[in-house]
């Protein structure tokens, strides 16, 4: 069984191997998700289904067997929705649609169903701050290279505002 995961701009498959008893354990799945997403090893992952109901180890395998399972994996910092993908021999049959995951089998792609992949990141604030700092640096570099730019930078340093001289 393959689980397709989109995290930020990256997409990954997490393989859930079938065993004689069913599928790999819940903890093995969580470990694989952590590794594939590059999360810190000590990350505590939580799984919930689309309705927000917690998915834990004792029901995980049954939900995989039922198929068409969408699982939201979350940490304290981010969350990702995962969709199980039926075991396939032809991975090329899988569609690569942005923000969707498709169930596919080697016999019929028409058996597919879509599920959303949602990314909620607390690091959005950090990203905005980094973008702001990058923009400040770029404007400063441009002003330093232009005639009169140094005067504008001095005005901003003293008043923390800029005024149009016209």
Tell me if residue 127 falls in helix, strand or coil.
helix
In the predicted structure, residue 98 carries a pLDDT above the cut 70 = no
Q: Where is pLDDT greater, at 82 or 52?
A: 52
- Other beta carbons within 10 angstroms of residue 150's beta carbon come to 12
**Residue 56, pLDDT score:** 83
Q: Where is pLDDT greater, at 130 or 92?
A: 130
Q: Over the stretch 32-80, which tens digit does the pLDDT of each residue have?
A: 878 887 877 777 777 767 677 887 888 878 877 876 666 666 666 555 5
Q: 54-79: b or e for each residue (b if 16 or more CB lie within 10 Å)?
A: ebeeeebbebbeeeebbbbbbbeebb
pLDDT band for 85, please (50, 70, 90 cuts): low
In the predicted structure, residue 97 carries a pLDDT above the cut 80 = no
Q: Over the stretch 13-29, which tens digit does the pLDDT of each residue have?
A: 778 888 888 888 888 88
**Residue 119, pLDDT score:** 41
**15/85 Cα distance (integer angstroms):** 9
Q: Where is pLDDT greater, at 83 or 99?
A: 83
Assess contact for 117 and 101: CB atoms under 8 A. yes
**Residue 26, pLDDT score:** 82
**Residue 81, pLDDT score:** 58
**36/5 Cα distance (integer angstroms):** 9
Q: Over the stretch 107-151, which tens digit does the pLDDT of each residue have?
A: 333 333 344 444 444 445 556 666 777 778 888 888 888 888 888
Token pair listed for 109? 């792609």
Q: 79 phi and psi, to 5 degrees?
A: -145, 150
């Amino acid at each position: 069984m393959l689980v397709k995961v989109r995290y930020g701009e990256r997409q990954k498959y997490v393989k859930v191997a079938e065993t004689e008893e069913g599928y790999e354990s819940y903890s093995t799945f969580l470990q694989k998700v952590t590794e594939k997403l590059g999360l810190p090893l000590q990350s505590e992952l939580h799984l919930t289904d689309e309705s927000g109901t917690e998915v834990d180890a004792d029901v995980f395998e049954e939900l995989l067997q039922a198929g068409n399972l969408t699982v939201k994996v979350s940490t304290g910092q981010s969350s990702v929705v995962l969709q199980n993908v039926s075991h396939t021999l032809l991975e090329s049959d899988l569609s690569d649609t942005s923000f969707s995951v498709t169930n596919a089998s080697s016999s019929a792609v028409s058996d597919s169903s879509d599920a959303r992949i949602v990314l909620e990141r607390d690091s959005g604030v950090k990203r905005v701050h980094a973008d702001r700092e990058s923009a400040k640096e770029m404007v400063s570099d441009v002003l330093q290279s232009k005639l009169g730019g140094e005067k504008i930078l001095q005005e901003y340093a003293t008043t923390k505002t800029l005024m149009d001289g016209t």
